[in-house]
Structure 1
């Protein structure tokens, strides 16, 4: 019961007004007594947090906590794509020539996801990877490559859950939810990093505003539940390094461009 209630607070609800109420509560000092039950319920390793648990003044503060510098090791290899988040690598695969791909047995249209057929064209025949952040996870996200930001834009208004029920019963949540798309370029070409808000509240906060970045640099955080979709443009040398349903951490290699000469 406790786990259900805590999950309800950090992932919000399908109703905009109750979500606004829960957001205000989670960000207020009134939610501070829930921090320890939350950490216990989700078996969060408190030794990894940047500060002792008593430092955090609200559930939101704790939920968006930074971790200490020793937790994440960033793979510095030029040819690797690393995980941008502590998450479940829930699905991956090739993007079909018809600009559609499957997520949890549902068909999604790439042009709807990216806002236009023109935006989607770069990723036809490329590769996608989906990372789902659960309530127990560290909710800050980082750049998965070193490179330059070429475009950033937001799409979507209404949001549905991005958990199993949401993807099953929501109206194509990955292509209708509020989302922020960052298009990145590196030595190996283009990559789209799509941050998808979970419910009603647009909970994506960006902390990096520069046009250049290094692999592993913090880009922002999710205030509440969340998912990240990575799209890699076609490149015959790119291959995933892990299988679906693998737990990953920031900086861990999840793919690579095998042609090191590029």
Structure 2
């Protein structure tokens, strides 16, 4: 097991511990103050029984989302570290650092690689202070979930600039999605201190464990609606979206912050 996985497991044990209320209140308030969390859409920090509860907090106030059926919304509150058009099957981890869709998705998705050539992509980085839940960006059918065990390097800007193939080496969960017969992928990338990635529709998925084999779950009928909660990171991490060629026109959001519910792309 890589050292990053071991560190993340120990941190995960601490984060899920429910300390006596007066101690937990100090921990939660300290975390909120240290990171400068905006809690206006959430419950009071003292409500959360563990640091994990605070990390994975639900919205207490319903978020307005763009309901246009031709619009993809941001699945997360995050910072767009890169976006654009693939050059054949190459996309950017960060400016000047390429990797391939094939390496990220693995040979299990090989039958769809040609569809993705010259398609579009967008990287969503969630910092530790962000809302950690991820949502459906549009109505779609989930065809497969692929869990790929791996390392847990940090995914902040410092590491994006120095760790080659970070999104290829890190543990990740891939959703293969169909909307109006068009293909797109959502890739959820684990990171240091992400003790677990949770998917509400598939409780069998267990990340950051001793599992070393790729796990594949296939679905005949698994529909989700735009805005549905798909799950959550237990700490900050990254989501990568990749669309098939000529299926969407993405907004130029490079180096901008986005909120779950805001428009990121339109169907062509």
TM-score (norm 2): 0.84
**In the alignment, structure 1 residue 34 sits paired with structure 2 residue 27:** yes
Specify every segment of 5 or more residues in structure 2 that has no aligned partner in the other structure, as ranges: 203-220
Aligned residues: 242
Contact 2:7/2:192 (8 A) holds in 1: no
**Equivalent position to 1:96, from 87, 95, 106:** 87
**Equivalent position to 2:197, from 193, 199, 204:** 204
Pairing 1:68-217 to 2, within 5 Å after superposition: 68-70=60-62, 72-97=63-88, 99-104=89-94, 105-116=96-107, 117-187=110-180, 189-199=182-192, 203-209=196-202, 211-217=222-228
Q: Which piece of structure 1 moves more, 215-224 or 242-251?
A: 242-251
Report the 3-state secondary structure (helix = DSSP H, G, I; strand = E; otherwise coil) of the residue aligned with 1:29. coil
**Deviating runs (4+, > 4 A) in structure 1?**
none
TM-score (norm 1): 0.86
2:207 corresponding residue in structure 1: none
Report the 3-state secondary structure (helix = DSSP H, G, I; strand = E; otherwise coil) of the residue aligned with 2:141. strand
State the Cα distance separating 1:169 from its structure 2 match: 3.1
**In the alignment, structure 1 residue 234 sits paired with structure 2 residue 223:** no
Q: Deviations over 1:13-68 (max 9, x none)?
A: 9543333221111111247222111112222222211x322111111110110012
What is the root-mean-square deviation of aligned Cα atoms in Å? 2.0
Distance 1:164 1:43, change over 3 A: same
Q: Deviations over 1:85-143 (max 9, x none)?
A: 0111221010112x112221211011010012434332111000000001110000001
Report the 3-state secondary structure (helix = DSSP H, G, I; strand = E; otherwise coil) of the residue aligned with 2:40. helix
State the Cα distance separating 1:188 from its structure 2 match: 6.0
Distance 1:139 1:179, change over 3 A: same
Aligned counterparts of 2:70 and 2:49: Cα–Cα separation in 1: 41
1:6 corresponding residue in structure 2: none
1:7 corresponding residue in structure 2: none
